[in-house]
Amino acid sequence: RHRSPVAVAQGAHEFRRRLFRRTRAHNDAKPCWAPGGGAHSSKKTLMLSSVPQLRALYREADAREERMTAYLASVERDLCDTLRHGTRPTAGMVESVAAAKVSAVDEAIEYCHRLRQEVGSYALMAGTGFEHTDFLQCCKFAEGDSRILLMKVARDRVKAHGDRVRKGAAVPAWMSAGEAAAVAKLAEALAESASGGKRPAEAWETHWDKAYTTARLAVDNIVSRRVGGPEKWSNAGWRSTPASRL
């Protein structure tokens, strides 16, 4: 059962990877008009992939892609080891699987959408891959709606926070200051709603936005604890060689 969300995450990630490769190959070969350029000029022809905003997007997307590739490989390796030994997945393993599903799918949706905005009419053409981006929407709701997984992470964080408060325990070292503050703020808001007579379900519905914000911070930190934060990968994967030659 835990293998399926990882497979969905890998499917979304692979779709994103291939769409970027195919689009980059087109952009590398697509000349753009530039003042003083053209066959009659000695000025170098500007290719579409060299346009500043596209170049910046490719650089950023390459780094984030490599980070997510490393994370998914790490989770798959640990999960396979658990399954081979027939042991019960730990709570940390379950959270890592949930983070893989949420992060990989959300990143794929975000970056594919941003790429679509930069390549103009090319994204409207058949055979480019953009016509299949609804696949990512299917991934978002397959094997557990990402929103449901996020809410579970938020609930688990609030429960653990309550246990720590009752025992007088400190915030665990692996939790970032931002995540700890968000969890405490969410727990405080829920407690305030409860003291006002709201049932637990009503309190969570009232503070749904804080719950999702807290969960996304937690998911980001789960990924970062395994492979490092985005800053570690800021220059990773940028290819000086055109994608069409890879």
**Per-residue pLDDT in tens (0 to 9) along the chain, 246 residues:** 555 899 999 999 999 999 999 999 999 998 877 666 555 555 567 788 888 899 999 999 999 999 999 999 999 999 999 999 999 999 999 999 999 999 999 999 999 999 999 998 999 999 999 999 999 999 999 877 889 999 999 999 999 999 999 999 999 999 999 999 999 999 999 999 999 999 999 999 999 999 999 999 999 999 999 999 988 887 655 554 444 443
Q: What's the confidence (pLDDT) of residue 142?
A: 86
User: How many other C-beta atoms can be found within 10 angstroms of the C-beta atom of residue 204?
Assistant: 20
pLDDT of residue 44: 63
Residue 234 is predicted with a pLDDT of: 78
pTM of the predicted model as reported, rounded to 2 decimal places? 0.87
CB 46 within 8 A of CB 37: yes
What is the structure's pLDDT at 46?
78
In angstroms, the CA 170 to CA 106 distance is 32
Q: Give the pLDDT score at 245.
A: 41
> Which pLDDT belongs to residue 235?
64
What residues have CB less than 8 Å from 139, skipping those under 6 apart?
8, 9, 11, 12, 15, 105, 108
Predicted pLDDT of residue 241: 45
What is the predicted pLDDT for the residue at 103?
97
What confidence score (pLDDT) does residue 237 get? 55
CA distance linking residue 229 with residue 179, whole number of Å:
14
DSSP conformational letter for 39? T
- What pLDDT score does 3 carry? 57
Integer Cα distance of 127 and 132 in angstroms: 9
